[in-house]
Amino acid sequence: MAKKSSFAVTIFGVMLLLVQNVCGVEYQVGGSKGIWGVPSDPNAQSLNQWAESRRFQIGDSIVFNYQSGQDSVLLVNQDDYNNCHTESPIKHFSDGHTIIKFEKSGPHYFISGIKDNCLKNEKLVVVVLADRTKQYSSPPPAPVEEPQSPPPEAPAQMNPTPSPTAEGPPSNAASSSTSIISFFLGLIGMVATSMILL
């Protein structure tokens, strides 16, 4: 019986890691005891050093903890980040426990809503990498090579075929989600089968 339970725990752990890889990770700014605020120790690791040591991807979330009413979080553009401009942010948060889910790749710029705090280095850049689910999708189709010689001219009385639109290849999103669901169903079936056999 002990073999069954340890095997089930192992399989459950593997499934949990796979779900985390597909669904995203939640990071608390500055680590588990981190607080969104002015760095108290100039020699301590800055928020940007903390962010640089993480691999943020689309689907991940970041949590800002701070005292509501005494500070805030602004999502800003690069220029406002560099100059601590707090006047026209992209988004403003002041609830004390702000959770932001990354929906696109690239740099995301955050500063304190209090300009003086921003000037004292209460600011953060998070660079988000590609979508986690793309690693599970099938590769894009290879491009079709164009013929080197020009096609023969069509007779004047024929109606030419309209050129294709620039829509591009169909999206892999549906096949990606289907393959992920199939994978998890197969994994659950494998766990159930092995539990019966043990």
Between 24 and 149, the higher pLDDT residue: 24
187: in domain: no
Inside any domain, residue 19? no
Within-domain flag for 86: yes
State the Cα–Cα distance between residues 55 and 32, nearest whole angstrom: 16
Report which of 175, 169, 170, 151 is spatially closest to residue 161, judged by C-alpha positions.
Answer: 151
Residue 68 is part of which domain span?
26-131
Rg (alpha carbons) of the chain, rounded to whole number: 25
In a domain, 112, yes or no: yes
Tell how many helices (H) and how many strands (E) occur in the chain.
5, 8
Express each pLDDT in 99-143 by its tens digit: 999 999 999 999 999 999 999 999 999 999 986 555 444 444 455
pLDDT at position 16 over 90: no
Whichever domain contains 101, its CATH number is 2.60.40.420
Please give the structure tokens belonging to residue 102.
């990354």
Residue 191 placed within a domain: no
Is residue 114 assigned to a domain? yes
Q: Quote the pTM value.
A: 0.57
Is the confidence at residue 38, as pLDDT, over 70? yes
Q: Could you tell me if residue 115 is inside a domain? A: yes
pLDDT in tens, 48-60: 999 999 999 999 9
d(CA 147, CA 117): 61
pLDDT at 186 over 70: no
Structural domain includes residue 192: no
Task: Domain count for the chain, please give it.
Answer: 1
Given a cut of 80, whether residue 61 has pLDDT beyond it is yes
Question: Pairing relation of β-strands 26-28 and 123-131?
Answer: unpaired
